[in-house]
Amino acid sequence: MPASDIPPNHRDDEERSVAYGVKPSRFVESGGEILDAERCLEIYRLMVRTRALEERTIKMSKSGEGYFWVGGPGEEAVNVCLGLMIKKGQGPAFDYLHLHYRNAGLLLAMGMPMVDHMRQMAMTATDRHSMGRNFVGHYAIAAWNVVPVTSVIEVQYTMAIGTAMVQKRFESDGVSVAVGGDAGTAQGDFSSCMIWASRPGQEVPVLMLVTNNGYGISTPAHTQHSEEHISDRATPFGIRSDNVNGNDPVATWRALERAFNYCRRSRRPYMLEAAVSRLHGHSSSSGAARVGGEPDVVKIFEDQLIGSGILHRELAEMIRHDAAEEADAAAEQVATEPRPLPSDVEKHTYAPSPVDAIYPDDYTGLPR
Ligand SMILES: Cc1ncc(C[n+]2csc(CCOP(=O)(O)OP(=O)(O)O)c2C)c(N)n1
């Protein structure tokens, strides 16, 4: 986009420039792309909040305040940009989300309060996603079309076909977004998704997003993949594809924007692969200690914004401080909340359904 097309923004920037004597840019240029300053600051703030949430939950896994940890430090840019683009709502007129277990930033960008994530981490009875029965990051929000996340990797790609078919049938502009890691793409569900999404004349609007962090638990991707990019696999299926540096929020925003525009308008599939870092290993099972040598997308973006005069170091510190306080307060809140009772174990296996003649209230599948 030429700089002249970028809407003038920026009373805030002007105020900052007076305060700090810096002449701010009205946009950030990176990876051959350009994004306006206001949007960059919004993305930055959400990335910082996501990182604070992830770091606090890692601490919970070590302190005994929570249990198993898995999450997405290093994937903040992809998640936040994606979350800000979602057409949020319930039913086929809106986007459906078929996620895996590293998407906290996406949900925060959509407006989820931190405490909703913390409750799952602490497995409290108040956890809105699973009532304390599932791992952290395994969201389920009917009102936002967030299809329950399962620990069984890759099945989300085949489920996305179903919701995309419904969206196409309803002639909406909704997109079914499926997100997963690189290793999982070796599974059949990923191929099934490509086949079903690209049937001639029956294509469906699935956005297949692959976050490639270079590992499947402890197996390095380069020992498993001979293709240069996973996204190259889309070509023989006639699926449009691209790959992007997920450590570059500006380039990531633009790549996602192109992907969404294509799926919304053409009602066809698109595959985007984002190269991301894995900053704390696979999960708490491998210790979740900070890994050295991986690029840190939050730090990279912060330096870019400071270099462009859009962000001042003191303001960055304030944003980080506020985010850490917010995460601490959420962790403190859930510490005193009730845990599930053993007597509840058979409840809530399926959602109550008035059309279920036998178990309209709470079908557990078990004899009463
Ligand atoms: C069907 C299935 N097979 C194996 C596993 C065990 N498992 C959990 S995470 C994981 C690695 C996934 O790696 P990748 O798809 O690259 O995603 P990442 O965790 O790196 O984001 C595996 C093999 C699983 N959960 N489900």
Report the nearest atom of ligand 1 relative to the CA of 278: 20
Determine, yes or no, domain membership for 345: no
The pLDDT tens digits for 132-164 are: 999 999 999 999 999 999 999 999 999 999 999
Distance from the CA of 183 to the center of ligand 1, in angstroms? Answer: 7
The pLDDT value given to residue 11: 45
Whether 151 is in the pocket of ligand 1, judged by its Cβ within 6 Å, is yes
Task: Taking residues 191-205, report their average pLDDT.
Answer: 98
Distance from the CA of 230 to the center of ligand 1, in angstroms? Answer: 16
pLDDT band at 15 (very low <50, low <70, confident <90, very high): low
In the chain, the number of structural domains is 1
Whether 112 is in the pocket of ligand 1, judged by its Cβ within 6 Å, is no
Distance from the CA of 239 to the center of ligand 1, in angstroms? Answer: 24
Q: Cα–Cα–Cα angle for 2, 81, 228, nearest 5°?
A: 85
Whether 215 is in the pocket of ligand 1, judged by its Cβ within 6 Å, is yes
Determine, yes or no, domain membership for 361: no
Determine, yes or no, domain membership for 287: no
CA-derived radius of gyration, the chain: 21
Task: Taking residues 207-216, report their average pLDDT.
Answer: 98
Q: What is the CATH number of the domain that holds 158?
A: 3.40.50.970
Determine, yes or no, domain membership for 347: no
Whether 183 is in the pocket of ligand 1, judged by its Cβ within 6 Å, is yes
| Residue 78 in this model has a pLDDT that exceeds 60 | yes
Determine, yes or no, domain membership for 3: no
The pLDDT value given to residue 126: 95
Nearest residue (CA) to ligand 1, atom 8: 153
DSSP string, 207-253: EEEEEE-SEETTEEGGGT--SS-GGGGGGGGT-EEEEEETT-HHHHH
The pLDDT value given to residue 365: 55
Whether 182 is in the pocket of ligand 1, judged by its Cβ within 6 Å, is yes
Instruction: State percent of the chain over pLDDT 70.
Output: 90
| Residue 2 in this model has a pLDDT that exceeds 90 | no
Whether 284 is in the pocket of ligand 1, judged by its Cβ within 6 Å, is no
pTM of the model: 0.92
The pLDDT tens digits for 272-316 are: 999 999 999 999 999 999 999 999 999 999 999 999 999 999 999
Determine, yes or no, domain membership for 252: yes
Determine, yes or no, domain membership for 350: no
The pLDDT value given to residue 40: 97
Report the nearest atom of ligand 1 relative to the CA of 213: 20
Is 227 buried (19+), middle (13-18) or exposed (0-12) by CB count in 10 A? exposed
Whether 302 is in the pocket of ligand 1, judged by its Cβ within 6 Å, is no
Q: Supply the mean pLDDT for the chain.
A: 92
Dig out the tokens for 299 from the structure. Answer: 């730090």
Whether 280 is in the pocket of ligand 1, judged by its Cβ within 6 Å, is no
The pLDDT value given to residue 218: 96
Q: Give the separation between CA 182 and CA 356, rounded to whole angstroms.
A: 39
Determine, yes or no, domain membership for 126: yes
- Determine contact, residues 271/231, Cβ cutoff 8 Å: yes
pLDDT band at 359 (very low <50, low <70, confident <90, very high): low
| Residue 208 in this model has a pLDDT that exceeds 70 | yes
The pLDDT value given to residue 5: 39
Nearest residue (CA) to ligand 1, atom 26: 152
Range of the domain at 143: 27-279+296-334
Nearest residue (CA) to ligand 1, atom 7: 153
